[in-house]
């Protein structure tokens, strides 16, 4: 009898609980209609959108593959600061507060802006006012990954562009190269990525360049003991004089191929930054590095998942933001 009573009671609680959950989620959906990104967002509004971006990217990358690295990093720096809203593309205006581009983490090292501009110009003649700069950047990063790594994925779209960019929003949101992997894991955690996902995404350092100033403290005055001695000697021969003007390839094995050789470099103590090499100090990150070095196609699958997730950070959708007509300036209205 008693047991029966308790059972009934338990079921009533369950029904009550489910009802409350339904009410809350229903009310939430009504209040803030959160629009999600979708694949093929421009299918009817601008059918050739993705094709146009891809052909522009392929053209520029066939002349200079390094621009693909630049585009991938641009997308990352866009998404980690205030979401993937193309705020990183806005130019500063004299007399107004400095923008994201002006931050030391960006100024002088971001590249690929001309590719975005060229794609935007083409898109504005084909479908004026339809395709956002944030989506162009996300497509361009995806297309660079394909061109340099032969890794393909559908890039969900429907992002809109911010009307503001501030240098002061950058600090604390972008991982510095002189932080160790534990410190940077905290920055990634703030964006919803765990340490394993950080290891996966860091594989992007398999392409592109770095300025000597980003790792000079590992060479001078004394060589970082966690760096391979002969690699340090090679770097010291390149990095002398103006550190801010000299660059090296990030991946010594296959500098223009987006592959898992970055992880092979790390195991050989040939990582460029403290942030790269210190992933070996943490046991779980080290395990992931070793797995990625060994199983390249597993890494590419994880990398795709990570990129799609990154591309959804803090996006503006629906009626929020605008479709910029020129990616470097907000619309006047």
Ligand X SMILES: *[C@@H]1O[C@H](CO)[C@@H](O)[C@H](O)[C@H]1NC(C)=O
List residues binding ligand X (CB under 6 A).
Answer: 98, 102, 107-108, 180, 182-183, 278, 281-282
160 secondary structure, DSSP code: B
204 binds, among ligand HEM, ligand X, none (CB under 5 to 8 A by kind): ligand HEM
Query: Does 271 contact ligand HEM by CB under 6 A?
Result: no
316 secondary structure, DSSP code: B
102 binds, among ligand HEM, ligand X, none (CB under 5 to 8 A by kind): ligand X
Q: Is 69 helix (H, G, I), strand (E, B) or coil?
A: helix
Query: Does 260 contact ligand HEM by CB under 6 A?
Result: no
Query: Does 208 contact ligand HEM by CB under 6 A?
Result: yes
User: 């694949």: which residue's tokens?
Assistant: 39
Query: Does 278 contact ligand HEM by CB under 6 A?
Result: no
Shortest Cβ 320–ligand HEM spacing (Å): 25
Q: Are 226 and 278 in contact (CB under 8 A)?
A: yes
- Bond from prior residue into 221 cis (ω within 30 degrees of 0): yes
> Which DSSP string do the residues of 15-29 spell out, in sequence order?
HHHHHHHHHHHHHHH
Query: Does 73 contact ligand HEM by CB under 6 A?
Result: yes
Strands (E), 100-236: 209-211
Burial group, residue 199, by CB count within 10 angstroms (0-12, 13-18, 19+): buried
Three-point CA angle 139, 109, 158, nearest 5°: 20
Q: Please work out the total of residues on this chain that contact ligand HEM, with binding judged by CB under 6 A.
A: 25
Active-site positions? 77
Query: Does 70 contact ligand HEM by CB under 6 A?
Result: yes
Query: Does 214 contact ligand HEM by CB under 6 A?
Result: yes
Shortest Cβ 38–ligand X spacing (Å): 37
Give the residues lining the site for ligand HEM (CB under 6 A).
66, 69-70, 72-73, 76, 109, 111, 175-177, 184, 198, 201-202, 204-205, 207-211, 214, 273, 275
């Amino acid at each position: 009898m008693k047991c029966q009573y308790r059972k009934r009671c338990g079921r009533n609680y369950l029904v009550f609980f489910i009802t409350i959950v339904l009410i809350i989620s229903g009310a939430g959906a009504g209040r803030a209609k959160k629009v999600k990104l979708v694949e093929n967002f421009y299918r009817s509004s601008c059918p050739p959108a993705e094709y146009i971006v891809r052909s522009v990217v392929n053209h520029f990358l066939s002349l200079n593959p390094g621009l693909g690295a630049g585009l991938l990093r641009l997308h990352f720096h866009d998404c980690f600061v205030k979401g993937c809203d193309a705020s990183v593309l806005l130019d500063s205006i004299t007399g107004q507060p400095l923008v994201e581009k002006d931050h030391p983490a960006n100024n002088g090292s971001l590249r690929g802006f001309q590719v975005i501009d060229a794609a935007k110009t083409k898109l504005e003649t084909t479908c004026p006012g339809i395709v956002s700069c944030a989506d162009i950047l996300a497509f361009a990063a995806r297309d660079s990954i394909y061109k340099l790594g032969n890794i393909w994925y559908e890039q969900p779209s429907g992002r809109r562009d911010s009307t503001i960019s501030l240098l002061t929003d950058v600090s604390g949101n972008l991982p510095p190269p002189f932080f160790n992997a534990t410190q940077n894991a905290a920055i990634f955690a703030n964006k919803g990525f765990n340490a394993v996902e950080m290891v996966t995404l860091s594989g992007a350092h398999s392409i592109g360049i770095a300025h000597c100033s980003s790792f000079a403290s590992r060479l001078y005055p004394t060589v970082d003991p966690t760096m391979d001695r002969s690699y340090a000697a090679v770097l010291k021969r390149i990095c002398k004089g103006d550190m801010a003007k000299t660059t090296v390839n990030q991946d010594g094995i296959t500098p223009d191929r987006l592959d898992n050789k970055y992880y092979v470099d790390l195991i050989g103590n040939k990582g460029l930054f403290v942030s790269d090499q210190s992933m070996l100090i943490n046991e779980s990150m080290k395990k992931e590095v070793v797995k990625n070095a060994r199983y390249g196609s597993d890494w590419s699958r994880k990398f795709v998942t990570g990129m799609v997730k990154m591309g959804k950070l803090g996006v503006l959708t629906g009626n929020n933001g605008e479709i910029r007509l020129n990616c470097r300036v907000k619309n006047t209205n």
